[in-house]
């Protein structure tokens, strides 16, 4: 008799498991915002970095650095022509990998990265920002403007893809709804 009574709760349990899987794998993760300034001989730069505080294993998050250059009063005619950024992390997927360069202008610059983690943990890295100017010998002179230590929390299972958990959540929700629909008709 108790088994028959408990059977009416099975659709609700299946639906709850499916919704829990969907929420855990799809809920938006927090982002940190860092603001700081740095200056060279001719410009003061304001940096705003929108950085993921957490990343699910197997999922990519976006990081955006916005740079606003401002000329300093009494600045020399010679100024940086290019800003170069490089994001360095061990065991983290970064796209684009390596250095990104953009010409300096009076308007804001934006640098974009896609950050992904293959294993759970708290990877630490550094964002390097350089000014690049023409050198006296015809080459380039690269000068470190600022370096920002960064980290994020990476969580999840690396042995099963994230999409598999989402698909399982959808299947559980569908089965739960079907079971609920069939129990209501009885």
Q: Tell me the per-residue pLDDT of 91-130, one tens digit each, with 9 for 90 and over.
A: 899 999 999 999 988 789 999 999 998 888 899 999 999 9
pLDDT over 70, % of the chain: 83
Domain boundaries of the chain, sorted by first residue = 29-159
Write down the pLDDT at residue 79. Answer: 63
d(CA 122, CA 6): 43
User: What is the dihedral sign for C-alpha 34, 107, 60, 18?
Assistant: positive
Q: Tell me the per-residue pLDDT of 5-46, one tens digit each, with 9 for 90 and over.
A: 667 788 888 778 887 777 776 677 889 999 999 988 788 899
Write down the pLDDT at residue 180. Answer: 76
Answer CATH for 29-159 from 3.30.420.10, 3.40.50.620, 2.60.40.10, 3.30.360.10:
2.60.40.10
């Amino acid at each position: 008799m108790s088994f028959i009574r408990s059977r009416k709760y099975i659709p609700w349990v299946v639906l709850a498991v499916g919704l829990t899987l969907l929420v855990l794998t799809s809920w938006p993760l927090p982002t940190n915002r860092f603001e700081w300034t740095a200056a060279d001989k001719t410009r003061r730069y304001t940096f705003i970095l929108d950085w993921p505080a957490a990343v699910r294993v197997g999922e990519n998050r976006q990081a955006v650095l916005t740079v606003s250059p401002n000329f300093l009063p009494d600045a020399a005619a010679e100024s940086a022509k290019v800003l170069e950024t490089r994001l360095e992390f061990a065991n983290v997927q970064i796209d684009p990998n390596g250095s990104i360069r953009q010409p300096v202008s009076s308007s804001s610059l934006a640098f974009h990265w896609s950050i992904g983690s293959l294993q759970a943990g708290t990877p630490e890295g550094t964002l390097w920002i350089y000014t690049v100017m023409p050198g006296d010998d015809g080459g380039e002179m690269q000068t470190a403007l600022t370096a920002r230590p960064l980290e994020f929390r990476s969580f999840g299972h690396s042995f099963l893809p994230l999409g598999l958990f989402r698909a399982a959540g959808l299947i559980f929700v569908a089965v739960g709804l079907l079971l609920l629909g069939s129990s209501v008709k009885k």
